[in-house]
Every structure is written in C-alpha cells, then in structure tokens.
C-alpha cells in the first residue's frame, strides 16, 4: 500500500466512523428523550400486537447497534469480520422490515381492514424482501488489513448488489405514501360536507414528513453505493436506519400523545355521543386505527358544534 493509498484509506475510515458515531448518537439520544413517553403510553397500558411491533422496531436497532459498534472499533480476524458485515446487513434489513410492517398495518387499518389491501401490500413486501435477501446473501467484501476495527472494502459490483435492499425500501415507501394519499383523496371526495377529517389529515401530514425525510436520506445512501469509494459505499446506511427507526417511533408516540389529549379518540367520542352515534365504546388501538374512527372524529365535531349552537 503506497503512502497515498494509506492516506486515502485513513481519510475514508475517518469519514465512515464519524458518520457512524453521529448516527448512533442520534438514535440513542432520541431514545432517551422519548423514553418517558414510551413508558407512559405503552408500558403502563395493556399491550397490543402493534405495541409489540413498536418495541421490536425500537429495541432491535437499539441492541443490534451496540454489537455493531463494538466491532466497528475493535479489531477481529478477517473471517469474523466478514460474518460481522453480513450480520450488519441482515440487521439493517430486519430493522427496515419492522418499520414497513408498522406502516403496512396503518394503511391496512385506514382502508377498513380490507383483505385485498393486506394481500397487495404483503405481496409487494415479500417480493421486495426476497430480492433484498438474495442481493446481500452472496456478497463478501474484503476486510481492510492493518487498521483498527472491522471495516469492509466493497467493489463497485458488490456495491450495486448492496444497494438493492435500499432501492427496495424506497420502492415500498412510495407504495405506502401513494396508498395514504389515495385514501385521503378518496375520503375527501366521499365526504358529504366540506369539513376536513382531522385524524386522516394528521396521519397524512406525519406520513408526508416521514416520506420526504427518508426519501432524501435513502437516495443519498443509494448514491454512495454507486459513486463513493470502496470504504464509503453504504456509509449512510446506519444514518438512514437510525432516522427511520427514530421517526417511526415518534410517529407512533405522537399519535398516542394526541389521543391522550382527547383528540380523535374514543374518549372524546363517548363523552359527546355514546348514545347518539353507536353503542361501540371500546378503546381505539391507536396504531391500527379503523376507518370508522375517522368518521367518529367528524361526527364528534358536528355534535360539538351543534351543542355549542344550542347553548348559545
């Protein structure tokens, strides 16, 4: 290795390590910031299936990145380093799969739990996941010798394969956001009044923010696989994963926070219309909202307005 090659390697490793540290610091710091909300909204309430999905999404990344961090800054034999690299790729795929499942459940609920929507989303997800696992299964980069930590140099050919899971994720995110906006337009057109659906607007807003941020980060990460050097291909993968896990956690905690204030919730519905709209006063599972909850929020607004007019 020439002096110039050594300098390039050291610089690339420094950039890689700095990006990695920033990413995991962001993940763990935000975890601490939102831990109180997690305990208040999830741990102190009855557990549902979506609650366990949330915890898997949150703590799979939390625990997995601890192991990855150890190997990034500690040298191991080349054979072990290759296994660590495969573990890291699988961990990233699993993290994104958990997030996609949570997003799919939300879309499934918004469409009134229609089987064809479930089949369509799961079918697309299964195909994309199969392609992703196939793409990373045959990859084996070259461990960088004489450096501290487990670092893999990937050729351009391998980089193209490693980009496939992120391209699949971007494709699935597009499907999610298209389904969300289609439902928003459909609900608006079917509404008999010009009154907006506050709950659906809330979900569309958060979904749009999530998509814009993750689309930008994922596209940036995909470009590194094609344009960056051997040591920097996929250098934004940990950042993209940390951002997606954090934003998904905040989306769900934000929804629970809104519910706790009495907005768009069954509690508000019961208070005003337990004997008017329906006999169904079961609690709403915030992570798997049914379409009827959108109607409830609109009906509650209408009744609240009419009551105010009567009092006046």
Would you say residue 23 has pLDDT above 90?
A: yes
Torsion sign over Cα 127, 92, 216, 28: positive
**285-294 pLDDT, tens digit each:** 444 444 444 4
Q: Which domains does the chain have, with CATH numbers?
A: 12-262 (1.20.1070.10)
Would you say residue 295 has pLDDT above 60?
A: no
Q: Identify the pLDDT of residue 286.
A: 45
Least confident of 86-95, 191-200, 230-239: 191-200
DSSP letter for 159, please: H
Would you say residue 56 has pLDDT above 70?
A: yes
Q: Identify the pLDDT of residue 211.
A: 84
Find out whether 110 and 183 touch, Cβ atoms under 8 Å. yes
Torsion sign over Cα 131, 137, 141, 143: positive
Name which residue leads in pLDDT, 87 or 278: 87
Q: Identify the pLDDT of residue 218.
A: 92
pLDDT (average), residues 182-195: 66
Q: Identify the pLDDT of residue 136.
A: 81
Cα distance between residue 166 and residue 218, in whole Å = 7
Q: Is 218 exposed, middle or buried (0-12, 13-18, 19+ CB in 10 A)?
A: buried
Would you say residue 94 has pLDDT above 80?
A: yes
Q: Which of 241, 165, 252, 164 is nearest to 202 (CA)?
A: 252
pLDDT tier for residue 33 given thresholds of 50, 70 and 90 = very high
Name which residue leads in pLDDT, 298 or 91: 91
Q: Identify the pLDDT of residue 272.
A: 31
Cα distance between residue 185 and residue 179, in whole Å = 10
Supply the mean pLDDT for the chain: 78
**42-51 pLDDT, tens digit each:** 888 888 777 8
pLDDT (average), residues 165-183: 88
């Amino acid at each position: 290795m020439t002096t110039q090659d050594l300098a390039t390697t050291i610089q690339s490793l420094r950039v890689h390590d700095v990006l990695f540290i920033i990413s995991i610091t962001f993940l763990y710091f935000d975890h601490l910031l939102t831990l109180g909300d997690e305990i208040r909204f999830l741990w102190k309430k009855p557990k549902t299936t979506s609650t366990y999905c949330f915890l898997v999404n949150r703590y799979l990344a939390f625990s997995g990145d601890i192991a990855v961090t150890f190997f990034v800054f500690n040298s191991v034999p080349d054979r072990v380093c290759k296994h660590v690299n495969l573990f890291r790729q699988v961990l990233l795929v699993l993290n994104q799969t958990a997030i996609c499942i949570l997003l799919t459940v939300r879309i499934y609920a918004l469409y009134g739990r229609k089987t064809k929507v479930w089949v369509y989303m799961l079918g697309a997800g299964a195909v994309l996941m199969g392609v992703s696992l196939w793409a990373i299964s045959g990859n084996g980069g070259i461990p960088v010798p004489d450096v501290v930590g487990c670092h893999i140099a990937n050729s351009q050919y391998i980089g193209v394969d490693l980009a496939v899971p992120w391209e699949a994720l971007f494709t699935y995110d597009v499907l999610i956001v298209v389904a969300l906006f289609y439902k928003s337009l459909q609900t608006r057109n079917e509404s008999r009044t010009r009154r907006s659906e506050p709950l659906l607007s809330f979900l569309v807003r958060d979904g749009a923010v999530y998509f814009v941020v993750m689309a930008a980060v994922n596209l940036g990460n995909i470009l590194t696989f094609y344009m960056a050097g051997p040591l920097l291909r996929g250098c934004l993968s940990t950042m993209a994963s940390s951002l997606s896990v954090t934003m998904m956690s905040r989306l769900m905690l934000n929804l629970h926070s809104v519910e706790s204030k009495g907005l768009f919730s069954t509690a508000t519905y019961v208070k005003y219309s337990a004997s008017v709209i329906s006999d169904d006063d079961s609690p709403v599972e915030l992570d798997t909202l049914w379409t009827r909850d959108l109607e409830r929020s609109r009906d509650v607004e209408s009744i609240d307005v009419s009551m105010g007019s009567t009092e006046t």
